[in-house]
Amino acid sequence: MLEILQYGFMQRALAAGIMIAIICSTIGTFIVLKRLSMIGDGLAHIALGGIALGLFFKVYPVIAALIFSVVSALGINSLRKAKIYGDVAIAIFFSAGLALAVVLLSLAKGFNVDLFSYLFGSILTVNETDLKMVLGLGILTVGAVILFYKELVYLTFDEESAKVSGIPSDILNNALVVLTAITVVASIKIVGILLVSSLLVVPAATSLQISKNFKETILFSIVLSILSVAVGLISSYYFNIATGGAIVLVSIIFFAAILLYKNWRLR
């Protein structure tokens, strides 16, 4: 079975996939508990605007998407602070990004297959540049979470008390959405814009069913996420199916199985 790991494209796919699994589930745990599950989907569609812009002006689309999503993430946060409901703030930026993408697409009379690969992901075509980008952004994200772990946990659990104890809540809230934006952009190549938010939300939601404390939640979520990527990737190779979809379906199966097990045990 392991002969597939001899292929260079498969090694790159697995390395990139595991890194994405780690950052998505870590950031996802905070996002889900902050009731911001939809922000991943929102930022991914905003990133599409950035990608369209990049393709239109012929610059590396991922860089354009990154700048676009990070700025929008900060915009979403300032709208939230201005007492606009979180989901409305996300919806506004979501619409703006998607609208921009559609307009640019019509101007360019449709792009080539490139756009298609961003929409649905193409983990098997991850090249050296993509892999370096994913690993770089991944290390940055994991490092930031490790450095500010205790403050982020406090802020997620009880924002008001965290403020009273002198934790710089505005800075850290902004940092969290910026990290989310980075995570989303880094993941686009792996599962595609349409499925990015699943990787953020599903493993964390699964882990929440069985964890006793915060640390456990993040660790279980990472394990589930890596398993989903590995099983999804390998089965997509053998059954010749779309990898992004396979990864997400595997993670959904984990979710359903654990939910069923939990309900069965409680009875």
Partner 1 sequence: MGEKIIEMENINFELDGISILEDINLAIERGEFLGIIGPNGSGKTTLLKIMLGLIKPKTGTIKLFGEHIHHFKDWHRIGYVPQHAINFDANFPVSVFEVVSMGRFSKKGLLRRLGRKDLQIIEEALEIVGMKEYKNKRMGELSGGQQQRVFIARALASEPELLILDEPTAGVDVRVQKEFYDFLEKLNKERKITLVLVTHDIGTVTSRVGKLACMNKRLFPECHPEEFFAGIPVEGMKLVHHLHGE
Q: Which residues bind partner 1 (CB under 8 A)?
A: 33, 147-148, 150-151, 153-154, 157-158, 160-168, 208, 211-217
- To partner 1, the closest distance from the beta carbon of 198 in angstroms equals 20
Minimum distance from residue 217 beta carbon to partner 1 (Å)? 4
Minimum gap (Å) between residue 29 Cβ and partner 1: 9
Rounded Cα gap, residues 134 and 138, in angstroms? 6
d(C-alpha 223, C-alpha 210), whole Å: 13
Q: Is the CB of 15 or the CB of 167 nearer to partner 1?
A: 167
Phi and psi at 211, nearest 5°, equal -90, 150
User: Look-up: residue for tokens 């998607």?
Assistant: 98
User: Shortest approach of partner 1 to residue 203 CB, angstroms?
Assistant: 14
Q: Which is nearer to partner 1, 135 or 208 (CB)?
A: 208
Judged by beta carbon, residue 93 or residue 148, the one nearer partner 1 is 148
Smallest distance, Å, CB 150 to partner 1? 5
Q: Which amino acid is at 40?
A: G
Q: Which residues contact 12 (CB under 8 A, 6 or more apart)?
A: 126, 127, 128, 130, 131
Which of residues 120 and 214 has its CB atom nearest to partner 1 in the complex? 214
- Is the alpha carbon torsion for 230, 141, 248, 244 positive or negative? negative
117 versus 169: smaller Cβ distance to partner 1? 169
Residue 92 or 172 with smaller CB distance to partner 1: 172
Smallest distance, partner 1 to C-beta of residue 216, A? 7
Q: Which residues of 197-229 are buried (b: 16+ CB within 10 A; e: fewer)?
A: bbbbbbbbbbbeeebeebeebbbbbbebbbebb
